[in-house]
Amino acid sequence: MAWEDELFSLLDDLEQQAEALYDVERGFELADRSRAEYQQVTLASRLMASVGSDVGLDVRGIGAVGGVLERVGSGWCLVSGSGQDWIVPLAAVVAVRGASDRSAPEVAWTPVSRLGLGSALRRLAEAGERCVFHSTDGRMLDGTVHRVGADFVEARVGEDARTVLVPFGALGAVQSRD
């Protein structure tokens, strides 16, 4: 073998080693970037990708709520269970089962999907339907949504239709009444 062939063979070998090292480094870099990008994924975006699926939610003060995930908005979701619907603020969700492995980034949501909890509760006020207000500490109020403020819902409860204000932060869910 001529010295030129040996030199080219050595250079080829060094080049292959450099490519292998680059591939290993690139693999670590891609894994690191993937972990870094995942921190941008929100619970709402994972739930948005799960619309139409059966999910189970563990909700603070209520326990398990299950059914078909019908809608997701900014800070809330709507689950249709056996004969009843649940509007659940995402802040009250402790755990989710059955969610999609995918995510739908909020920039891809429709303008209607970007509406907050107040919008969903205002729809209940317009409908005048009776519902059960579940608080995150386990209390329940039976009544109707009268008005919705910036960070609270005004409910009319009891036979005397007394007014009770429920802060969004204390609201575990609003359940439709059969």
Task: Report how far residue 61's alpha carbon sits from residue 59's, in angstroms, rounded to the nearest whole number.
Answer: 6
pLDDT in tens, 34-59: 567 778 889 999 999 999 999 999 99
- What is the topology classification, in CATH, of domain 43-176? SH3 type barrels. (2.30.30)
Q: Residue 8: pLDDT above 80?
A: no
Query: What is the domain partition of the chain in residue ranges?
Result: 1-39, 43-176
For the segment 112-124, the average pLDDT, to the nearest whole number, is: 93
pLDDT in tens, 80-114: 988 899 999 999 999 999 999 999 988 888 888 88
Task: Report how far residue 108's alpha carbon sits from residue 17's, in angstroms, rounded to the nearest whole number.
Answer: 43
Q: Which pLDDT score, from 0 to 100, does residue 19 have?
A: 77
145 within 8 A of 131, measured Cβ to Cβ: yes
